């Protein structure tokens, strides 16, 4: 008998994860994915991105390892040199 929930099952259990939390987690996964990919694709180290963005390297490391939830300002500073920004979309505009 199955006892352990998959990540997907866990995430969709509203008893444990509220819809808002779920969206936030999805966003963070999207963020880290695109951020790390774009940074490496541009051949930048965290220190170099720190230079370009004005966000210190420790903050970037904390961000990429999901140690903190970023501030909006920080988000824009880091994403800008990577060619990204953020936008508000209807919940069911899943891509």
Partner DNA sequence: TTATATGATAACATATTTGTTATCATTAGT
Partner DNA sequence: ACTAATGATAACAAATATGTTATCATATAA
> Binding of DNA at residue 28 (CB under 7 A)?
no
What is d(CA 83, CA 74) in angstroms, rounded to the nearest whole number? 14
The CB-of-7 to its own copies minimum distance in angstroms stands at 19
> Binding of its own copies at residue 71 (CB under 8 A)?
yes
Query: Which tokens is 70 given?
Result: 């970023």
Task: Find the part of the chain contacting its own copies (CB under 8 A) among 7-15, 39-47, 59-67, 74-82.
Answer: 74-82
> Nearest CA to 43 among 80, 76, 81?
81
> Binding of DNA at residue 47 (CB under 7 A)?
yes
- The torsion of the CA quartet 55, 30, 25, 73, rounded to 10 degrees, works out to 30
> Binding of its own copies at residue 72 (CB under 8 A)?
yes
């Amino acid at each position: 008998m199955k006892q352990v929930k998959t990540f997907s099952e866990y995430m969709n259990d509203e008893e444990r994860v509220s819809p808002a939390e779920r969206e936030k987690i999805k966003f963070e996964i999207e963020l880290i994915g695109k951020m790390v990919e774009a940074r490496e694709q541009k051949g930048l180290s965290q220190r170099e991105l720190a230079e370009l963005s004005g966000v210190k390297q420790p903050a970037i490391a904390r961000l990429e390892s999901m140690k903190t939830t970023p501030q909006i300002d920080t988000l824009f500073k880091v994403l800008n040199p990577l060619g990204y920004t953020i936008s508000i979309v209807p919940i069911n505009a899943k891509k």
